[in-house]
Structure 1
């Protein structure tokens, strides 16, 4: 009987642990729902504006409200996961997202739609980072690469299929179903998380860095709003430049607070690792800009 050399045995791929794969797939489904919703409405904004009795360009406030809410609450997500458990927060995030999707679909005015989108943005702000925390806590170090690959595919697939699916649904059904489509996905996600994802509440959660949260959220929101105004030159160049400058200044204060706080809201020490800092700030930024721009470019083709 021929024995396998040690070097060949070591080179054999190690199967991913069942629990890690299961959690990663469940999180991937939730991510797909969130990313699909972010892109599916891009081709139905004119019909939505007509339904609400407002110009199509006015519908951009729904997207802006969604993004600003995410910017405010994303920094808080990790602390909430530590304080109340990542599984519990993930369930709350999916529930908020699903209920607000129903509210978006039943909206009768732009005001109702924006209010629903704010709640949806809150659910999305908690869902994405907390989902990654769940994967990290349920995967062994040897499984992290494969688990990360499983939760990455929604970011590649949803922005491409979203505008096409949104156009099809809007043409043959109505724009309302672009939001109702989230309901079965959300209910399935709630059941799967409740059934297969273990609880992980940390009994010794660190105290909340309130000042860090305020400065980080405010800086991100002001900067994002300033960048959004760049698409509307009629709003005035000086106020837009002032918002961007204010966002940068507040962001500097936020970084200063995070570096000095005994229990910072966000631990920036990881950026001391050169490879992490370069990949996150350069390649990671380019990747996210390209992916998030896709749904807005496809309708122009």
Structure 2
């Protein structure tokens, strides 16, 4: 358990709450603005859904290794780099001239987001005693509960009164604030790490992708069968991961 200064103890949850809000907001803010973005980019509204799916898939792939990276390189460094990558991805999204460029930019965003959210929670777990952890965790998670409700409404207002580019540009001031405050307040925590379990990472990431696509296809008319197949395949991959983890000394997840 790290010893926090009084300033860290008081304000650290605010910094992490901003990061959680920013990442989860971006997962939902596009939903109501896709038709306008499709028109601006000259694409079919149905194809625009890949701008949402690519972000979700990137989160599913990279979240499993975020804890390993935080333990190896330090929570502060990984958290700050995550904010930088997320903001760069946001700028690239706003500057996207085509759908393909937008999808690639959303992947960059997703890599940053995949590191921000779990590392922020890890920092809280390692920084506060058990008797304060529940209160602090609840405070930091409240923005994560609000963001899915605010995202679609905010996205609709932005495209109606400004332009779709601001859906991504609003991340920049939040990111700058999070970076400045994070540099001052986030503790640098390390843990002893062994080699990354690449086999486990591949199995778990593939399973997470399968479940994500299964939910996406299952919600689309005429694609329910594909969703079912993906769900079954992902379940088999999870089973394979459990079998692998029981036979490895240092699995990705015990």
SS in 2 for 1:263: coil
Partner of residue 27 from structure 1, selected from 16, 24, 31: 16
Conservation of the 8 A alpha-carbon contact between 1:19 and 1:139: no
- Show the 5 A alignment for 1:168-187: 168-187=157-176
1:174-215 Cα shifts (integer Å, max 9, x gaps): 01101000000001111111112221233x222211111111
Where structure 1 has 5 or more consecutive residues not aligned to the other structure, the ranges are 1-16, 268-301
Cα distance in structure 2, aligned partners of 1:266 and 1:27: 24
Cα distance in structure 2, aligned partners of 1:234 and 1:141: 48
Report the Cα offset of residue 232 of structure 1.
Answer: 3.0
1:255 counterpart residue number = 242
TM-score calculated relative to the size of structure 1 = 0.79
- Show the 5 A alignment for 1:114-263: 114-202=103-191, 204-235=192-223, 237=225, 239-263=226-250
Cα distance in structure 2, aligned partners of 1:245 and 1:141: 38
Report the Cα offset of residue 241 of structure 1.
Answer: 3.0
Conservation of the 8 A alpha-carbon contact between 1:23 and 1:138: no
Structure possessing the higher relative contact order (Cα contacts under 8 Å, 6 or more residues apart):
2
Report the Cα offset of residue 235 of structure 1.
Answer: 4.5
Q: Runs of 4 or more off by more than 6 Å in structure 1?
A: none
1:277-300 Cα shifts (integer Å, max 9, x gaps): xxxxxxxxxxxxxxxxxxxxxxxx
- Note the aligned Cα RMSD (angstroms): 1.7
Larger CA Rg, structure 1 vs 2: 1
Report the Cα offset of residue 231 of structure 1.
Answer: 2.6
Report the Cα offset of residue 226 of structure 1.
Answer: 2.5
Report the Cα offset of residue 236 of structure 1.
Answer: 7.1
**Structure 1 residues 146 and 21 mapped into 2: Cα distance closer, same or farther (>3 Å)?**
farther
Aligned residues: 250
TM-score calculated relative to the size of structure 2 = 0.93
Cα distance in structure 2, aligned partners of 1:164 and 1:242: 33
Conservation of the 8 A alpha-carbon contact between 1:19 and 1:138: no
Note if 1:87 corresponds to 2:76: yes
Report the Cα offset of residue 256 of structure 1.
Answer: 1.7
Cα distance in structure 1, aligned partners of 2:117 and 2:252: 17
Cα distance in structure 1, aligned partners of 2:250 and 2:16: 28
